[in-house]
Structure 1
């Protein structure tokens, strides 16, 4: 009998879901917008401070894992147990949940016992904050030469870490943090909850 995902070891999961890189698909933005509207419809605008398409699929022309990453920032008064129940009812699978210092939850869709589905999503749920991913995304969008350098780095790491997602992520961290810090210096506090003009960046 075939194992369910929850019964598989980490090594088995990495084997079933290897690192795959593909050229940019212009449909990614459409997939994100459809999912965004579904989240807003179920969660309610009053509970959402900001929602954004993040990660490499949000950067036109950038090679990427074909996974749509969504950052959902919540109002601090949102009922988290209700949120979990609502998202799982929508077909999202809760992968991790932390509440020690900063609340972080990770959900996904598109992972099956037979491998990847046609569309794959990661949903990163946090309270409204000044998150690095937003700065890095903007910097790559506005600096094509850095996006190209990032794409080359990913290609170099791809086969080495094809079945080691944690290793792949760790190997990119130095590059990501270098340009995230440059972006923060360049953009100031554009994504801070208290920043002037924050509303203009509320949802992308």
Structure 2
């Protein structure tokens, strides 16, 4: 199914939207399994244009326990998507008609966590690269004809290249 793909200017309310949702999630999930909850993706990078969907990264101590606890996220309006194409991840999305949040869950300290946080911090630290990424995202919207797979594929080369640099920058 094709969704309306729109990349909009940075919204200074995105961090507030993240914090509000973070509090709701932390209030619903058992604390013993939650290691951390981070704001990731383009909405976490000040000044960067983005699809207006808040991406979050949940670090958990046990994915099997999260699978059992996932119904608590459904109570908050999340759709439970399982791994959804990425091994050792659990993916949840909120907003069937108008998507508002994506929640990616990985084991605490895993490669998935390191990759997402390094890329976010790299874009924050290097605004010239964030500006290049913004340009790529706008070109992707123009080229994809509202096809999400094409949009993702268009950006993939840039992301893979800079993600590797981000990991080297962060971890040496």
Alignment TM-score, normalising by the size of structure 1: 0.76
Structure 1, unmatched stretches of 5+, are 1-9, 190-204
Q: Following TM superposition, by how much is the alpha carbon of 1:111 offset from its aligned partner in structure 2, in angstroms?
A: 2.6
Match of 2:119 in 1: 136
Residue among 101, 115, 118 paired with 1:121: 101
Residue among 35, 38, 41 paired with 1:49: 35
Q: Which 4+ residue blocks in structure 1 deviate beyond 2 angstroms?
A: 98-103
Structure 2, unmatched stretches of 5+, are none
Residue among 183, 188, 193 paired with 2:166: 183
Contact 1:53 / 1:68 at 8 angstroms: preserved in 2? yes
Match of 1:23 in 2: 9
Match of 2:91 in 1: 106
Classify the secondary structure of the residue corresponding to 2:46: coil
**C-alpha separation between the residues in 1 aligned to 2:11 and 2:96?**
19
**C-alpha separation between the residues in 2 aligned to 1:30 and 1:147?**
21
Alignment TM-score, normalising by the size of structure 2: 0.90
Match of 1:159 in 2: 142
- The structure carrying a bigger strand percent of its residues is 1
Aligned residues: 169
Residue among 18, 30, 36 paired with 2:22: 36
The alpha-carbon distance between structure 1 residues 99 and 109, as it changes in their structure 2 partners (threshold 3 A), is closer
**C-alpha separation between the residues in 2 aligned to 1:40 and 1:149?**
34
Q: Following TM superposition, by how much is the alpha carbon of 1:99 offset from its aligned partner in structure 2, in angstroms?
A: 9.4
Does 2:88 align with 1:80? Answer: no
Structure (1 or 2) with the larger CA radius of gyration: 1
Classify the secondary structure of the residue corresponding to 2:161: helix
Q: Following TM superposition, by how much is the alpha carbon of 1:188 offset from its aligned partner in structure 2, in angstroms?
A: 0.8
- CA RMSD in angstroms comes to 2.0
